Amino acid sequence: MVIEKGATTKIGSVVNKFDSQVKSKAAAKRIEKVKSLMKKKDKDRLIEHALLKHYNAEELKPYQAELIKLQNHLERTGKKLIILFEGRDASGKGGTIRRVTRYMNEKRYRTVALGKPSNDQKTELHMKRYIEQFPRAGEIVLFDRSWYNRAMVEPVMGFCTQKQYQRFMRKVVLYEQNFLGDNGKTILLKLYYSVSKDEQARRFERRKNDPLRQWKLSEVDLQAQELWDDFTEKKYQLLRKTHTKNTPWYIVRSDDKHLARLETIKLILNLVKYVGRARKLNYQPDPDIIISGDKEMKLMRKERKKYGKFLS
C-alpha cells in the first residue's frame, strides 16, 4: 500500500509516543534483544512493516466507530442486516469480517461459518440451515460463506449434483426476495472477494509455511489453483443469474487486504442513513476496489473475447 502524503509525519509522532510509553523493563528488554539479533536491513524492513500495519489500523478506526453508530441505529429501528462474504479461498473474507466486527457490540452481531451439513441436513432444503441463522430484530449476521456455497464450491468440488446446482440457481433469487419482503426490515448485502491467481498462490504458500495459519488449509485450498478456471466459470454464472436490482452483488478487489477492508466498511456504512454520521470522513467507495456485479460481468466478457476464456 502507498502511504498517503503527510503519513510520514504521523508515523514519526507514533514512534515518539511509542518510545516514551515503553515503561515496562521486561518489554524494553525484549525489544533490545530482537534488535540485537537482526541485521540493519531486517530492522528497517520490520520497522516499515510495523509502522504500515499501525497506520492501516489507525486509518480504519474512524470508520469502525461509524459501524457502532450503524449498529445502534439498527437496534433502535429493529432492522436486520445480513452480509454475505463470498469468494475464493484466501481472498480475505475472514480478515475483513474481523475488522468489521472488531469494536462492535458483540451482543448485537454474529459471525456464521457453517461446516459440512449433517446427514439429516442433506435431506432438507439447502437454504434451511442458513435461514435458521438469520438475524433477530436489531441484529447483524455476517456469513463467512453462505448458501452460495452451492453456486461455487459444491458444484466444482462435486459436493452436490448438477441437478441440485441448477435448481438452486433457479430458486435462490426468489428465496432472497421472499425474506426481503418484510417492509424493508431486512437488508441484504452480497460481497464477492476477488483475488488474483498469483496472490492466492502466495497466500497459500504462506499458510503452508506458517504454523499459525496451517489450520486454514483445506481440501478446497489444495486444489484451488488447479481448478481456477472452473471456479471462474462458476463466478460468472453466479453473477449472471443472481445479480439483480434488488439483490445485487458487489465485487471487492482484495489483493490489497487493507484497501479491501476499508472499502468494505464504507460500503456497509452506505446501506442505511443513521444519526450522528461524522461529516469529515470520505464514505465514497473506491471504484477501483468496489465493482458492481454488472460491471464485473462486462469486464469478464471482454476478457473472454480477448483471451478466449475468463481470467478473473
Q: How far apart are CA 312 and CA 303, in angstroms?
A: 8
Pick the CATH number of 38-307 from 2.40.30.200, 3.40.190.10, 3.40.50.300, 3.10.105.10: 3.40.50.300
Whole-prediction pTM = 0.86
The one-digit pLDDT tens for each residue of the chain (312 residues) are 444 444 444 445 544 555 445 456 776 776 676 667 667 667 677 788 888 889 999 999 999 999 999 999 999 999 999 999 999 999 999 999 999 999 999 999 999 999 999 999 999 999 999 999 999 999 999 999 999 999 999 999 999 999 999 999 999 999 999 999 888 899 999 999 999 999 999 999 988 888 888 787 777 777 899 999 999 999 999 999 999 999 999 999 999 999 999 999 999 999 999 999 999 999 999 999 999 999 999 999 999 998 898 888
pLDDT at 310: 87
pLDDT at 3: 47
Cell of 150: 452451492
Q: Cell 504454523 sits at which residue? A: 211
Task: Please name which of 53, 47, 45, 40 lies closest in space to residue 3, comparing C-alpha atoms.
Answer: 53
Q: How far apart are CA 117 and CA 129, in angstroms?
A: 8
Alpha-carbon separation of residue 13 from 59, 125, 206, 236, 283 (angstroms): 15, 57, 32, 47, 26
